[in-house]
Amino acid sequence: GSSLEPEEHSMEPPTVPEEEEMPLTTAPGPAGCQLFGYVGIEAVLDQMKVKTMKMGFEFNIMVVGQSGLGKSTMVNTLFKSKVSRKDSQPSEQERIPRTVQLQSITHVIEEKGVKMKLTVTDTPGFGDQINNENCWDPIIKYINEQYERYLREEILITRKRKIPDTRVHGCVYFVPPTGHWLRPLDLEFMRRLSKIVNVVPVIAKADTLTLEERAEFKQRVRASSHGAPGVASVPPRAWLKPHLPQIQEDLKTHAISVYPQQDFDQDPEDRALNDRIREKIPFAVVGADQEHQVNGKRVLGRKTKWGIIEVENAAHCEFPLLRDLLIRSHLQDLKDITHNVHYESYRVRRLSESN
């Protein structure tokens, strides 16, 4: 406690601890640590692959749209199996439900040793009524119920090693191929649902539109929020050209953030890939679950008097883009955004309310 101690210490040179003299753990290396031989670090990828193939994984998809837009056929086309079934002759009461009903079908599909528990949720009755006010409420309630079910399992003291995941990872919204403006129902649904789930809009039964009509419809979808009275005629295949700034401005005006969301791009490579996808939204798709003979090959398509519309041909429709987005390139990203963004927002809100 003496006042002379600081002066005595000040006469001595400052001592540096050994940890600061030789920071072994924080020494930067320009090229990393060079190994003298094979260690086997890369084998962790094989371990993860084997473990995932044994456990399998879950994927839950929801399809929303009016009756007769080919939702069940589109799901069957996506997974090339009868995963979505419907009655061949529904009764009079089942044709147009009085309220929106939700029906879920679960299948375990396997491809090359990889098992996936697929759950398809259909929404019969959506948009089929004369008065469609608040017809999205049962859908929002169902999505939040799945979040609540996962949250209850997660906050238990003794939790399961793997919590059953019934959360909706992606919602495919089917827009009627009218060739006119988006309905207020379409805009309001996507505005509300895009905040709690990944929404992917598609133009259903795009083979009913010519290339010119399809191009104009895509332009109107992108310009609908500005209230433009019309769009000039566009030459065939003009919809393949980028219209990214206009698309993003129109979606931002209505606060609609469809998947893939620009705010969640991780790196420049992801941003470049997602930008190419965002240029084509909404996808103009055609679904078919029957095969036909074309040039000696069996292809999925719709047969007409003037030819066969090949579903998996990018020159005929944009179904390959939708399939690649949902399954081949962004399936895990859909699950990650659902867990890290949408479910996290719900969890924070629920825990804040309870506290």
154 pLDDT more than 90: yes
Q: What is the model's pLDDT at position 91? A: 53
281 pLDDT more than 90: no
- Averaged pLDDT for residues 262-285: 88
Q: What is the model's pLDDT at position 234? A: 34
State residue 170 phi and psi, 5-degree precision.
Answer: -155, 140
* CA 314 – CA 61 distance, rounded (Å): 23
Strand 307-310: give its sheet, edge to edge: 291-294, 297-304, 307-310
Greater model confidence, 228 or 18: 18
Lowest-confidence range among 12-26, 87-101, 156-170, 207-221? 12-26
What's the pTM?
0.77
Q: What is the model's pLDDT at position 228? A: 39
State residue 310 phi and psi, 5-degree precision.
Answer: -80, 120
Q: What is the model's pLDDT at position 70? A: 87
7-37 pLDDT per residue, tens? 444 455 555 555 455 544 445 555 567 888 8
> Taking all residues of the chain, what is their mean pLDDT, rounded to a whole number?
79
| HSE-up (13 A, CA, CB side) for residue 133 | 1
75 C-beta neighbours (distance < 10 Å), count: 23
196 pLDDT more than 60: yes
Lowest-confidence range among 13-27, 126-140, 150-164, 231-245? 231-245
Q: What is the model's pLDDT at position 299? A: 84
Q: What is the model's pLDDT at position 221? A: 61
Greater model confidence, 180 or 328: 328
Tokens representing residue 228 in the block = 């433009």
**Fold of the 44-84+97-228+246-287+315-354 domain:** Rossmann fold (3.40.50)
Q: What is the DSSP string of 286-351?
A: -----EEEETTEEEEEEEETTEEEETT-TTT-SHHHHHIIIIIISHHHHHHHIIIIIHHHHHHHHH
40 C-beta neighbours (distance < 10 Å), count: 7
Domain ranges of the chain: 44-84+97-228+246-287+315-354
Tokens representing residue 50 in the block = 């084997």
Q: What is the model's pLDDT at position 59? A: 96
Q: What is the model's pLDDT at position 355? A: 80
Banded pLDDT at 259 (limits 50, 70, 90): very high
Greater model confidence, 337 or 8: 337
